[in-house]
Amino acid sequence: MSILALTVLVFFLSIIFTYTNGFQDGSSVAAGAIASRALSRLQAILLVAACEFLGALFGGSAVSHTIQSITNWPHTPSLLPVLASGLFAAILWNYITKLCRFPSSSTHALVGGIIGAVYAGSGGWQHIVWGDPDHVLHSTGIWKVVFSLFLSPLIGFAAGYACLIVTLLFLMRASTRANKGLKKLQIFSTAVLAFAHGANDTQKAMGILVLTLNAGGYMIGDDIPLWVRLLTGTAMAVGIASLAPGIVKRVGLGIYRLRPLHGFVTEFSSAAVVLIGSITGGPVSASQVIASAVMGIGTAQRKKGVHWLVARDMLIAWFLTIPCSAFLAYALHIGIFRWLNELLRVSANP
């Protein structure tokens, strides 16, 4: 198999992964506005898709650089089957969790897939960059990804809890008419959250595509070409159009019944956390942050109203994602994609 064919394969898988990210995490982004009836399903899809696309174009490159830094595999064609294995595993896991109606993390799936594929391809951990865990704010490699993924839901919970308390203080004497104003504010907060998600999550695929172009010998460096941004932004927007109703229902109604006040606070607090992640290069999971913010809001207002069994199932899915996607990637690479590497070697040395 030629280098060009493998490069095209990885690009195809990256676009499919971004599409699955769109219906997986994008469903969580739109859930608050749909559940509180601030926007219809069609309105939410159009608004979220447009803002996700803008996030891909103008969201910076910090998260992409973090994704590129988790492996020190040489930028040679041998990296291409590894990336293909990791992406294929992440795509499979996203479809499995969609069928199970679990808003699991596409970021977890991708990171787990890359770890499992790199281990399978090298036979050890030598090409995994673990990084420095000594300083949380300045961590690198896998540690930076782990800190971002596991701290962001805790911050999301605290942000949702605190924001609801503050908002309730401001609205102590407000009448039910305030709901109309809150629904209008949700249009803005949903747009900001969608932009933040687009900025953070599309960069994960962009990081893989930059590695692919380097490995194939088509570019040098870690800058993201404009056409890569346009490609991933379009794939994310198309994925948004395929919202998963089961995930929307779980996040918007299954954890805690969201009304206009709760929807606005969820989106506002989640957007702040995800935007900070994008600026600092932390690849956070929007679905985790949003679900955690909903739990924080429910705890702040009426702890008994939170469906903790649903929350428990989601937590289980979150913790299973990295090891399961890593195992899938390992199995796929050993069973399928390593043969592509052998074909690549044969074609390079006839």
Ordered per-residue pLDDT tens for the chain, 350 residues: 578 888 999 999 999 999 988 887 888 888 888 888 888 989 999 999 999 999 999 998 989 988 898 899 998 888 998 999 999 999 998 888 777 766 667 788 898 999 999 999 888 899 998 877 666 556 667 888 878 877 888 899 999 999 999 998 888 777 777 888 888 999 999 999 999 999 999 999 999 999 999 998 899 888 899 999 999 999 999 999 887 677 777 777 778 888 888 889 999 999 999 999 888 888 888 888 888 898 999 899 888 878 777 777 777 777 888 899 999 999 998 887 666 666 555 454 44
Beta strands in the chain (DSSP E): none
Task: Tell me the backbone φ, ψ of residue 270, rounded to 5 degrees.
Answer: -65, -40
SS3 128: strand
Report d(CA 312, CA 317) in Å as an integer. Answer: 9
pLDDT at position 181: 87
Q: Which residue from 73, 11, 62 is spatially nearest to 208, judged by alpha carbons?
A: 11
Report d(CA 209, CA 218) in Å as an integer. Answer: 11
Report d(CA 210, CA 203) in Å as an integer. Answer: 10
Report d(CA 80, CA 118) in Å as an integer. Answer: 11
Q: Provide the phi-psi class of 305: left if phi over 0, else alpha when psi is between -120 and 50, else beta.
A: alpha
The DSSP line for 286-350 is HHHHHHHHHHHHHHHH-GGGS-HHHHHHHHHHHHHHHHHHHHHHHHHIIIIIHHHHHHHHHHH--
> Would you state the structure tokens that stand for residue 75, as one six-digit string?
């930028």
Report d(CA 229, CA 241) in Å as an integer. Answer: 19
Q: Scanning the structure block, which residue is given the tokens 């956070």?
A: 284
Report d(CA 21, CA 338) in Å as an integer. Answer: 26
pLDDT at position 137: 57
SS3 93: helix
> Would you state the structure tokens that stand for residue 199, as one six-digit string?
């900025």
Q: How far is CA 15 from the centre of its chain?
A: 14
Residues 6+ apart with CB under 8 A from 346: none
Is residue 204 a contact partner of residue 63, using CB atoms and an 8 Å limit? Answer: yes
SS3 253: helix
Q: Which amino acid is at 42?
A: L
Global confidence as pTM: 0.88
Q: Domain boundaries in the chain? A: 3-129+140-348
Report d(CA 37, CA 35) in Å as an integer. Answer: 5
The radius of gyration of the chain from alpha carbons, rounded to an integer in Å, stands at 20
